[in-house]
Chains A and B, each alone.
Chain A
């Protein structure tokens, strides 16, 4: 008999209740339990960062958290970064303008990590941005477009 728990989580502002097997990761719960496939599982051992989501506003690897641990917490995924009317966040716009993605697989983790980072660091240097995304692996872009997007978004948000 599988070990299960009932949980209640708020994801992108919406409350969800579910019964989950306790060994299910938060990432798998979001993807399979809730059908929110925007968060990607790239390594399942906490290094690639593609699975990063915001838990109560803090960037966390969803492959290293159990779904049951999210009970009572607020999760933001890539699907929740744009406004309700579809207006992209300045960071999302900046990724689009600066060719900050190619295959798109690491992008959810990059966007959530940078969203959290820029909130606390509104005027970062390039070095600081590179260190901030050193926990997110990209195999396609060589990082430059992502760094440019982050710096551009930071500027837009400071001036906005």
Chain B
């Protein structure tokens, strides 16, 4: 399984990369390669041009921007797992990344690559949905910001133009001591989740004051359980509450395919949401 021939480019700056995208209509961006290379090898994609981002200056790195973390699109998943600021401010990220592929793939894979590839079962888009992360996209006419809710356009298609580049992701902080929990069911360690759930909670005096629940793998885009989140406010952070939230998750519209039925995805959604919330609840400071 060898790729079809292409012309390879390795720009050194973001502007160069954008210029190349503008010049060449049929170009694919190469980030970590863990998703694109299999597709190239199998000839599922046959681009005329491949633009390698691995040499572009300034696209990788993690900055603590006070009220948020700013993560460069080319930041390796491995580095996200090892970073002290991420561990302190957004601990759900390293927790979830344990489920993402294997350490060999995390050595190359990037957060930007995952967010642009937008596999419905991928964990990183699910996290960004929970965070209402803001994505910065740069094109020939400058930069624009895309709230994550507006990022997935269709199945594996993000809202990014053919001559635009995702440069960074802004992950807003939750209060110190917030509860977090990531749960997924995959058949084997490292597999894409059949269904995953990310839960963030702020709890004070034993009651929930803020909640975000995102489900991955049930639809072409991560689903925020807005109703369940609202219902959690003011509730005790206990097992009963979390089970009820799980039951609300069972009602989502889940896709069906040749491998997995929608009913099973719904069942998993209920179980994963309950488990993610339970983890979040046990970690939240301020819980009873």
State yes or no: do A and B touch (Cβ within 8 Å): yes
Q: In the complex, A116 Cα to B34 Cα: how many Å?
A: 19
Contact indicator A45/B41 (Cβ below 8 Å): yes
Contact of A135 with B104 at beta-carbon distance under 8 Å, contacts A22-B6, A22-B7 already known: yes
B107 at the interface (CB under 8 A from A): yes
Q: In the complex, A58 Cα to B37 Cα: how many Å?
A: 18
Q: In the complex, A77 Cα to B34 Cα: how many Å?
A: 20
Q: In the complex, A117 Cα to B2 Cα: how many Å?
A: 29
Q: Which residues of B contact A60 (CB under 8 A)?
A: 104, 107-108
Residues 20-56 of chain A: 1 if any B CB is under 8 Å from the residue's CB, otherwise 0?
A: 0111010010000000000000001110010010010
B285 at the interface (CB under 8 A from A): no
Contact of A65 with B108 at beta-carbon distance under 8 Å, contacts A44-B1, A46-B34, A117-B103 already known: yes
Picked from B4, B42, B78, B108, the residue with its CB within 8 Å of the CB of A64 is: B108
Q: Which residues of A contact B8 (CB under 8 A)?
A: 3, 5, 22-23, 66, 68
Q: In the complex, A25 Cα to B52 Cα: how many Å?
A: 14
Q: Which residues of A contact B219 (CB under 8 A)?
A: none
Q: In the complex, A49 Cα to B37 Cα: how many Å?
A: 14
Residues 25-39 of chain B: 1 if any A CB is under 8 Å from the residue's CB, otherwise 0?
A: 000001001100110
Q: Which residues of A contact B104 (CB under 8 A)?
A: 49, 52, 59-61, 113, 135
Give the bracket for the number of chain B residues in contact with chain A.
20 to 34
Q: Which residues of A contact B108 (CB under 8 A)?
A: 60-61, 64-65
Chain A residues 66 to 94 lying within 8 A of chain B, measured CB to CB, are 66, 68-69
Contact of A64 with B34 at beta-carbon distance under 8 Å, contacts A3-B7, A22-B7 already known: yes
> Which interface residue of B8, B78, B189 has the most chain A CB atoms within 10 A?
B8
Q: In the complex, A117 Cα to B37 Cα: how many Å?
A: 24
Rounded to whole Å, the gap between the CB of A17 and the closest CB of chain B is 17
Picked from B3, B10, B42, the residue with its CB within 8 Å of the CB of A68 is: B10
Contact indicator A135/B103 (Cβ below 8 Å): yes
A2 at the interface (CB under 8 A from B): yes
The dominant DSSP class at the B interface is loop
Rounded to whole Å, the gap between the CB of B67 and the closest CB of chain A is 33
Contact indicator A58/B107 (Cβ below 8 Å): yes
Contact of A61 with B105 at beta-carbon distance under 8 Å, contacts A23-B6, A46-B38, A69-B52 already known: yes
Contact indicator B5/A3 (Cβ below 8 Å): yes
Q: Which residues of B contact A55 (CB under 8 A)?
A: 107
B235 at the interface (CB under 8 A from A): no
A131 at the interface (CB under 8 A from B): yes
B286 at the interface (CB under 8 A from A): no
Contact indicator A135/B1 (Cβ below 8 Å): no
Q: Which residues of A contact B107 (CB under 8 A)?
A: 55, 58-60
Q: In the complex, A28 Cα to B1 Cα: how many Å?
A: 11
B58 at the interface (CB under 8 A from A): no
Chain B residues 38 to 62 lying within 8 A of chain A, measured CB to CB, are 38, 40-42, 50, 52, 54
Q: In the complex, A3 Cα to B3 Cα: how many Å?
A: 13
Contact of A45 with B103 at beta-carbon distance under 8 Å, contacts A65-B108, A131-B189 already known: no
Contact indicator B103/A3 (Cβ below 8 Å): no
Picked from A2, A5, A134, the residue with its CB within 8 Å of the CB of B102 is: A134
Contact indicator B103/A23 (Cβ below 8 Å): no
B190 at the interface (CB under 8 A from A): yes
Contact indicator A3/B6 (Cβ below 8 Å): yes
Q: In the complex, A58 Cα to B79 Cα: how many Å?
A: 12
Smallest Cβ-Cβ distance to A47: which chain B residue: B38
Contact indicator B189/A45 (Cβ below 8 Å): no
Contact indicator A2/B5 (Cβ below 8 Å): yes
Contact of A135 with B102 at beta-carbon distance under 8 Å, contacts A22-B6, A45-B1, A69-B54 already known: yes
Q: Which residues of B contact A49 (CB under 8 A)?
A: 102, 104
Contact of A135 with B105 at beta-carbon distance under 8 Å, contacts A44-B41, A63-B41, A69-B52 already known: yes
> Could you give 17 example pairs across A and B, Cβ below 8 Å?
A3-B8, A22-B7, A23-B3, A23-B4, A23-B40, A25-B37, A28-B2, A44-B41, A46-B38, A59-B103, A63-B37, A63-B41, A68-B8, A113-B103, A117-B103, A134-B188, A134-B189
Q: Which residues of B are in contact with A by a Cβ distance under 8 Å?
A: 1-8, 10, 30, 33-34, 37-38, 40-42, 50, 52, 54, 78, 101-105, 107-108, 188-190
